[in-house]
Amino acid sequence: MLKLAVAQLNYMVGDFAGNTDAIISHMQKAAAGKADVAVFSELCICGYYPGDLLEDSAFLAKAEQALANIMQASTDHPNLVCVIGTVRLNKGQGKALHNALLAIRNGEIVAEYYKQLLPTYGIFDERRHFEPGKEIASTLDVAGHKLGFMVCEDGWNDEEHDYQVNPFNALTAAKVDLIISINASPSDIGKRQQRHAMFAKAVAHHQLPLLYVNQVGGQDQLVFDGASFAVTPDRGVTFEAARFEEDFQLLGFAEKQFSAIDGAALVKPDSTGLSVPEFTRRQIVLGLQDYARRCGFKQVVVGSSGGIDSALTIALAVQALGAENVIAITMPSSYSSTGSVSDSVKLCDNLQVKLHTHPILNLVEQYAKGFEEAFSSPLRGLTQENLQARIRGTILMEYSNAFGALLLTTGNKSEISVGYCTLYGDTNGGLGLIGDLYKTEVYALSRHVNSAAGREIIPRDVLTKPPSAELAPDQLDTDSLPPYDELDEMLKWHIEGRRLPAHEFARAQAFVEQLQKTEAGQKSMARIMGMVARNEYKRRQAPPIIRVRARAFGSGRQMPIAAKY
C-alpha cells in the first residue's frame, strides 16, 4: 500500500521563513506517520499569488534559498518523497519563469513538472509571469506505484473547451496509477461542487484516481477553502479534508482505491456541503482573520449606522477577531432616526462591543457656513448629503490613524454596483467584508447569524426597518433604487450572468426577460445598467472586498472608466 500525507496549509505570500517552517514540520509529521509521499500545494514556498513580486530578483533569490533549505531538511527523512510547488527559472524562450511542481527525496529533485495551462481569466493572470511547460507527462515510481503530476488548472480542461492542450491525455498515455494534483484554488459559492463534478468526470473518463491537495487561508481579496479531496473512477469523491482550516491527513492507496492509513474504508463526504449562508459566513470570517493578521492589525473599527450593513459587518468582525478587538462608532446627524443610535446600542450590547458616539451636526453646520461664505451659494441637495458621509468617513479614519485599527467599509454589492455610496465617505476603509454580497444576501446572512447563535444578535428592528442612508429627511433607498429583490436580479444577470450557479442564473434570466416585455421595464433596466457603467470610477478607488462569488469587483472584473458604452 502507498501511504500518502495530505498537507493542507495556510501560506503567506513572501513569508519564506514561515512557509518553509510549515513545510518542514509537516514533512516530519509525514515521516513519523511512515508516509511514502507528502503532498503540499501550488507555489507553497512563496505563497499564491505573488503577482509582480515575481519580477523582484531578491524575491526569487529567497525562493531559491527556501527550496535549498527544504531539500536539506529532506535528508533527515530519506525515504519520504515531498511534493511541493515553487517558482523555477525558464531556461528556454518565453517568460522568465515556470510555475513548477517538484518531487524531492533525500536532498535531490527526483521529478520536475511545469504547469501547462496558465489561466488568464477572472482573478488569474499567470501568463503575465510564467511560461507554460512542455506537453509531456512527469512521472515517478514510489513504493510500486507510478505517480503522475499536474498543477491546478491542468485538470480543468478535460472537455478541451478552453485550451488546446489536455494534460490528462499525456498522463493516460504514460499509464500512471495515480495523479497527484497540487492546487491554489480560490473559493466561491458553488466552487466545491464544481471541483467535485469536474474531477469526478475526468477521473472516470481516464480511469485514473486523483489526489487533489489545495491550500487554505485568506490572501488579499481571495479566500482558499482547503477542502482537499481524493477521487476514484468508480466511487467518485471518497475523501475530503477540512474546509476553511488547516488539516493534515494520512491516506492509503492500493488497487486504484483510497483508504485510511490502516486500510479501513473511508467515509464518503457529504455531497451537499455547507449551506450558502454558512459558507459565506466562514469565507468572510477567515478572509478577515488572515487579512488583519497578515497586515499587522489587531483591532478593527466600523461606523455603526443602525442599519443592516454595518450590523452584519460588526457581527462578522466579532466572529473573526473577538468582541474585544472590534470598535463601533455611531455618528448621528440631524437626519438620523432615533433607531440609528438605539439599534446600534442594542447591537453592540448583544455582541459586547464597545460603542463610541461622535455626533456630526456641528461639523455639518460649520462646513455649510464655510461653503456659503466661500462660494456665495448654500450647501444643499446631494452635496450636503455626501458631506455627511464624508465627515463620517473622516472621523473613522481619524480613529484608525490614532489607534491603529483597520477600518472596515460596510458597502454591499448592490449599492457598490450602482454607485449608491459616497467616494471618500462610506467607501473609506482598508477592507470590505460584505462588498460581494447583494443586499438580499445581506439580509439572508444576518438571519443566519441570529439562527446559528440561537439568539438575537442583530436586532429585529434592524432586520425589518426599510433601508435608508438617512442623509435627507424621510429618505429611503427605494427613493432612488428599485426594491432590492428586483435590483439584485438585474445586477446578477448583468454582472455575473452565466458565472452564476445554474439555478440563480435561471431565476435572474427569467426576471429580466419578463421585465423587458414592458417599456417601463426596459427603461428600468437601461437606467440600472447605466448606473453600473457610470460608477466604475468609484469602484476603482474603493478598498478591496472579500470575494465570495465567482465574479467580484476588483481584479475579477476589469472594466474601463472612460468609455462610451
- Where in the sequence numbering do the catalytic residues fall? 42, 115, 152
In this structure, how many other beta carbons lie within 10 angstroms of the beta carbon of residue 422?
22
Amino acid at 331: M
- Number of alpha carbons in the 13 Å side-chain half-sphere of residue 432: 26
Length of the chain measured in residues: 565
Annotated binding site for deamido-NAD(+): 386, 415, 538
Annotated binding site for ATP: 303-310, 410
Main-chain dihedrals φ then ψ at residue 392, nearest 5 degrees: -60, -45
Output DSSP code: residue 270.
Answer: P
- Pair 449, 462: CB distance under 8 Å: no
Is the previous residue joined to 49 through a cis bond, with omega within 30 degrees of 0?
yes
Output DSSP code: residue 492.
Answer: I
Annotated binding site: 121, 185, 191, 303-310, 386, 410, 415, 538
- CA-nearest of 471, 328, 309, 329 to 388 is 471
In this structure, how many other beta carbons lie within 10 angstroms of the beta carbon of residue 369?
12
- CA-nearest of 167, 166, 101, 107 to 140 is 101
Annotated binding site for L-glutamine: 121, 185, 191
Amino acid at 400: S
Instruction: Give the CA diameter of the chain.
Output: 87
Please list the alpha-helical segments (H only) found in 352-483: 361-375, 381-403, 413-418, 439-453, 460-464
Q: Burial of 165 by CB count in 10 Å (0-12 exposed, 13-18 middle, 19+ buried)? A: middle
In this structure, how many other beta carbons lie within 10 angstroms of the beta carbon of residue 74?
24
Main-chain dihedrals φ then ψ at residue 321, nearest 5 degrees: -120, -10
**DSSP per-residue letters across 16-80:** HHHHHHHHHHHHHHHHHTT-SEEE--TTTTT-S--GGGGG-HHHHHHHHHHHHHHHHHHTTSTT-
Continuous segment of H or E residues that includes residue 150: strand 145-151
